[in-house]
Amino acid sequence: MRNTIHPKVVFSVKILTAILLTVLLFVLLEPLLPYHHLHGDERYYIGRALQNLEFIQGKRPPNKVWFSRGNHPFSAEFIIGTSLLLQGKAVAAPGNPWKVNITEDQLVAARRSALTTGLIGLASIVYLSLSLNFLAVPAVVLYLLSSPGFVDFSLRCMLDIYVASFTTLSLVSIYWYVTKKSRKALHMSALSLGLAIGSKTSWDPIIAGVIILLTIVLIETHVKDKLSAIIKFTALASLSFIATSTITIVRLEDHIRSVLVPMEAG
């Protein structure tokens, strides 16, 4: 009789492999953070992150937090600001985020959040690759690391890596939900999607959300279970968005206007 490996052991090995690869790449890429070319928008995002941090701490009124024109809620800035705070690199926020003065240490501290987020997205893809075909992992990792976009955005405080990574994590979590029938995976998908929507207003998380809701409808057997899963998913995604983009909710009218005005102008 053939011996089979327990599914929980296989699952643990996949997760451990993804984590070890993430840690290894962080160790290899983190020393590059001080030397990567500074993108002009990084200063702006760090400045907004500091303003948002002061708003959360009760030091800045909501009308003194800058809004972008069009597509930038605050979940990514929440993560950037939290990263600065935890590393002891948070400074007084500027009145104009474009004019923030940051040292190299503060820039690196902010970029660490982008690198960590990008590698979490990569780790989720590694887990998915291991689940489909072990031999696919090296090809997937090499493809992503050879992609100028993935490496570039992982080494900079740009919003793209946040929305891409959290959208990816939400979809990989749904694969876990489908194959393992895990409610925890569904909850993780919802929280990740909320962060993705809060990081940048784009079609990626919206399309992912439609795919996830259709998946729930197809997977759940009874109407009651379908409705319950959809309501819980929507509630958790909203909670994730609201908790990290509180200023967007407080000034919802201003945010909606910032999104619609560029569309009308176009």
Q: Which residue has the higher pLDDT, 235 or 203?
A: 235
The H or E element containing residue 232 is: helix 223-244
The H or E element containing residue 261 is: helix 252-265
Helix (H, G, I), strand (E, B) or coil at 86: helix
pTM for the full predicted model: 0.88
Question: 222 lies in a domain?
Answer: yes
Question: 116 lies in a domain?
Answer: yes
- Give the list of residues 6+ apart from residue 51 with CB closer than 8 angstroms, or none: 60, 64, 65, 66, 93, 94, 97
Mean pLDDT of 213-225: 92
Question: 233 lies in a domain?
Answer: yes
Digit-coded pLDDT (tens) for 20-35: 888 998 999 999 999 9
Q: Which residue has the higher pLDDT, 93 or 10?
A: 93
Question: 2 lies in a domain?
Answer: no
Distance CA 153, CA 193 (A): 19
Question: 150 lies in a domain?
Answer: yes
Question: 1 lies in a domain?
Answer: no
Mean pLDDT of 222-243: 94
Residue 90 tokens read as: 């948070």
Task: Give the angle subtended at the CA of 204 by the CAs of 180 and 69, to the nearest 5°.
Answer: 140
Domain containing residue 142: 7-265
Nearest of 265, 15, 266 to residue 124 by alpha carbon: 15
**Residue 266's pLDDT band (boundaries 50, 70, 90)?**
very low
Question: 122 lies in a domain?
Answer: yes
Instruction: Evaluate if residue 149 carries a pLDDT over 80.
Output: no
Residue 137 tokens read as: 């992992």
Q: Looking at the 3D structure of the chain, how many domains does it have? A: 1
Instruction: Evaluate if residue 262 carries a pLDDT over 80.
Output: no
Percent of the residues in the chain that have a pLDDT greater than 70, as a whole number: 93
Question: 251 lies in a domain?
Answer: yes
Res 69: pLDDT: 67
